[in-house]
Chain A
Amino acid sequence: MPIPTFSAFQTASRALSASQTLLSVTGNNIANVNTEGYTRQRVDLTSLSLTSTNQKFANTNNTSSSEGVQATGVSQIRDTFLDARYRTENSDNGMCTTLSSGLSDLESIVDEIDSDGLQTQLSDFADKLQSLSETPTDEDIALTVKTSAQSLTSILNSYSQQVTEVRDQAIYDLDKAVVSDFNSTVESIANLNTQIKEEEINGSTPNELLDKRNTLIDELSNIAKIKVTTSPEKISDNISVENLSISLYDESKGVNISLVENGQFSMISLNTEGDTAKIELTSAIDDHDTDITDHFTSGSIKGYLDIINGEGSYADISSGGNDYRGTLYYQNALDTFASTFANTFNKLNDTNTTDTLDAPLFASSVGGVITAANLTISTDWQDNTNAINAKAYNASDGDNTNVLLMIDALEGDTSFYQEDGSTLMFTGTFSDYMTGVVAELASDITLNEDYQDTSDTVLTSLSDSRNSVSGVSLDEEGVNLLAYQKSYNAAARYMTVLDEIMDKLINETGVVGR
C-alpha cells in the first residue's frame, strides 16, 4: 500500500500544533489560578485514524499508521453532583447567616448581662414600693415611686421601638439587597443561557461563560433553595445542546416554581403592605400564584422572612402564620408584658370597688389597647403624685395594705395571656417572664450558631472537594508545562528528521556516479 510522501509532514505539523494548544491551555490555567470560580481546562486529544472504506484498493496488511493527533476541544473538569450538594448546603448557610445577624440585633436590645435594662428597673420599682410601705403617707417617697414607674414605661417604649427598627432594617435589606440581587442574578443567568446555547450550536465550548454561569448559580443558591435541571436537546446529528432550567424548590409541598427556563426568567418583588411581608412573583414562564412567600424554605430570603414575619407562639398556623420567633414575636411578647403590668396595677389601685370609677396608674398614650410602645403613666398620676393608693379603701391614713398588695403582685406569680385573653402564655413573676423571653432568644441564637458551625464545616469540605476536582494546581501545571515543552521539542525533532530524509530522497537519491 503506497504511503503518501508528505503525509508524515502532516502528522508532524499536527503534533506541533497539538503541543502548542496544550501549552497555551496550560498557560491559561496558570494565568487563572486565582480566578474565582475558574474550572481547570484540559485539551481533548484524539488520535486520527485511517479508514479504508474510501481507498481504491483494499488494505491487505495493517502496516499503515494513523495520521497523528488532533485536539478536538478544550473541556472543563467539573463534578456536577458536587455542585448540587454545595448549592443545597449554601442555601442553609445563607439562611443561618441572616438569622444570626437578625437575632443578635434583637439580643443587643434586651440583653442585660452587661448593662442595665428592664429587669434592673423592675427591681428599682419594687424597691421604691417597699420604701413607700414604710412611710405610706410620705409624698416625697410617693414621688420616687412615680419617677421609677415613668422610667419603667420609657424603657418598655424604647425596647418596642428598637424591635421595630430591627424589623424595618431587615425589610430594607431584603428589598434593596437581596431581592435586587436575586432579580439581577436570575436575569444574568437567563442571558448567559442564551449566549451559551448559541456558542454550543456554533460548535465551540464556551468554558468561560459556563464558569460565569456556575458562579451566578452558586450566588443564587445562597439566596434561595433552588433546583437546577439540565436536559439535552439534539440540534443536529452531531450537535446536542443543553437546556438549563432553575426552579425554586419547596420540598415540603412538592412545589417547583420556575425561575429560569433557558432565556426566559421570572422576577420577584417585596410587598410590605399589611402586617406581614410577602414575596410576589412576576413570571414570564408559566402561570403561577403570585404570592410565593411560603415556598421559600431556605436561603437568605427565608432568613429575612423569618425575622420579619416570625410570630412564634402568637402565630395562627391555620391561616399561614410564621411560627419562627422573629421580631413580631418579641414585639407581641413585650406588648403582653406591658398590658399585663398595666392592668395588674390599675386593678390594684382601684381600691374603691363599690363605685364605677377607675383609678388607673398606667394608660396608653394614644388611647385604646395598651402596648409596649404606647405604655405611659396615666394623666391622673402625672398630675397628682398621690394618685397611687397606698391604703385600703376606708382604712386609716397610715395603712399600707394596698402597697403591700402591689409588692405581692411583683413578687408573686401572675398569669400572662395573649391579647385575646384566652391563650395562657406564661405563669410566673414579671421578672421571670422577661428572663424567659430573653432566654428563648438566647437559646435560638445558640442553636443557630451551632447549626451554622456545622453548615460552615460541611460547606468548607464541599468547597474543598470542588476545588480538588476543578481547581488549578500550580505544581501540576508546572509539570505539564515541562512535559508539553518536551513533546513540542520531540515533535520539532521529528519534523527535522522528516526534513532530512526528504532532503536525502530528493537531493541524494539516484545520483550515482555524479
Chain B
Amino acid sequence: MRIASNMVTQKYNRQLTSLESDLNDSTTKVSSGKAITNFSDNTSAAVKAYKIRSDLNKVDSYQANISHADTSLTDSESALNNMEDVYQYAMEKIVEGQNATQSSEERDIIATELRSLQDELLKTLNTNASGTYLFGGTNSETEPFTIDSTTGKLTYNGYVLDDLDPTDLDPTHTNGKAAIDSLSADSRYLDIGLNIQFDSFNSLVKSSAFAYTIQGIDIAGYGTSTVNVDGTDLTVSNNLYDLLGQIATAFESDDYSYNEVDTLYSQFQESSGGITQSITNVGSKQNYLDFMTDRYETQELNLEDKQSEIEDVDMGDAVIQYKTDEVAYNAALQLGASVIQTSIFDYMS
C-alpha cells in the first residue's frame, strides 16, 4: 500500500492519543483505588454494587431495631425480676401472718404491709422506660394498669381483669375470649429483616416482624375462680393484685379464718405463673435477638467483602497496568522524533 506523508503523522498522533488515554485511565484507577468511576464502566458490576449498598443500609437499620428491642427487653426483664422479688416477699409475709401465734394487731400490720406490696406491684406493672410504658402493648403512652374508682379492682387497658371470662366464646361479648386474645396479641412490632408483609386488609403478618413487648395481661392474670372454703363457695381473683388485696382483707377481717387465708394462699401460689412465664419469654426473645445479631454481623462482613471485590481495584494489578502503560507511552514518545522527520529530502545533497 502506498504510504502518503501525512498518513504517517496522523497514525502516530492517533496512537499517541490512544496511549495517553490508557495511561490516564490507569492513573485514575491507582490514585482513586476504585475499579469503576462511572456506571457505564461496567454496567453489571455497578448494578450489583448498588444492590449491595442498599443491602448494607438495610442491615444497619435492622441492627438498630434489634438494639432498640433488646434494650426494651432488658428493661422488661428487670421490672419482671422486681415483681418476682415482691411476690417472694409477699409469700413470706403471708406465711408469717398465718402463724397461729399472731395477734389481731400483728395481722393488721401484715395486712398493711401486703397492701403496700400491692402498690409496689402496681407501680412495677406500670414501668415506664424512656417515656414508654413497657407492659401496655401498643398502649405505650398512658398507664396500662389502673384501679377502678368504684370497685377498687385492677383494670388493664380499660378492661376490669376480674370481669374477663375465657370460657365466653361469643365474639360479640366485650369481656369474652375474643377480648382476652386480642389484648394478649397486642404487641409492639419491629422490622428486623424477616421480610415484613401485610395481608390484603393491611394487617401485619405476625411472623414477618418481631414482637418485642410482653403484655401486662399475660403477667398479671385475669378472670376469677371459685373455691370452696369450709363448705362455702368463694370467688377469688386470678390476678396477683386483686388476690393480694383479698388476702390482706382476710387478715384484717374480724373473723379471721385460717382456712380462708390458706385457700387464698394456694391460689396466690398458682397465680405467680404469669411472672415466671414472662421472664422465660423475655429470655427466649433475647436469645433470638442474639442469634439475629450474630447473623447480621456475619452478613455485614460478607456484604462488605463483596462490595470491596466489586468496587475496589486490586492495587497490585492496577500498579502493574499503570507501569506498563507508562512504558508504552514513553516508548511511543521517543519514537516520534525519528518517525516524522525522515524522507528522501534528508538524503538529497
Contacts and interface: CB of A to CB of B under 8 A. Distances in A.
Interface string B302-333: 00000000010000000000000000000000
Contacts, number: 172
Interface string A406-435: 011001100000000000000000010001
Contacts of A130: 61, 64-65, 191
B132 A439 contact: no
A102 B212 CA distance: 53
A404 B325 CA distance: 54
A474 B345 contact: yes
A405 interface: yes
Contact of A404 (B38, B40, B43, B204): B204
A137 B343 contact: no
A482 B14 CA distance: 33
3 A-B pairs with least C-beta separation: A471-B4, A398-B140, A478-B344
A134 interface: yes
Given A130-B191, A131-B64, A468 B141 contact: no
B60 interface: yes
B40 A468 contact: no
A435 B51 contact: yes
A31 to B, nearest CB: 13
Interface stretch (A44-52, A109-117, A234-242): A109-117
Interface in A109-138: 111-114, 119-120, 123, 126-127, 130-131, 133-135, 137-138
A411 B196 contact: yes
Contacts of B4: 467-468, 470-473
Q: Which of A120, A431, A470 has the most CB of B within 10 A?
A: A431
Interface of A: 33-34, 107, 111-114, 119-120, 123, 126-127, 130-131, 133-135, 137-138, 391-392, 395-401, 404-405, 407-408, 411-412, 431, 435, 438-439, 441-443, 445-446, 449, 460, 463-464, 467-475, 478-479, 482
B138 A399 contact: yes
Interface of B: 1-7, 10-11, 14, 34, 36-41, 43, 46-47, 49-51, 53-54, 57-58, 60-61, 64-65, 68, 130-133, 136-142, 157, 186, 188-191, 196-198, 202-204, 209, 311, 343-345, 348
B134 to A, nearest CB: 11
12 contacts: A107-B40, A113-B46, A396-B140, A408-B191, A408-B198, A411-B58, A411-B191, A431-B54, A442-B40, A471-B7, A473-B2, A478-B343
Contacts of B202: 392, 401, 405
B46 A34 contact: no
A478 B140 contact: no
Nearest to A392: B202
Contacts of B209: 404
A126 B61 contact: yes
A126 B57 CA distance: 9
A392 B14 CA distance: 67
A474 B340 CA distance: 12
Contacts of B132: 135, 398
B139 A123 contact: no
A475 B137 CA distance: 96
A111 B37 CA distance: 9
Contacts of A111: 38-39
Nearest to B44: A439
B43 A134 contact: no
A113 B141 contact: no
A123 B39 contact: no
Given A398-B141, A473-B2, A482-B348, A464 B11 contact: yes
Nearest to A114: B37
A111 B36 CA distance: 11
A126 B131 CA distance: 24
A511 B75 CA distance: 148
A473 B3 contact: yes
A500 B167 CA distance: 150
A215 B1 CA distance: 23
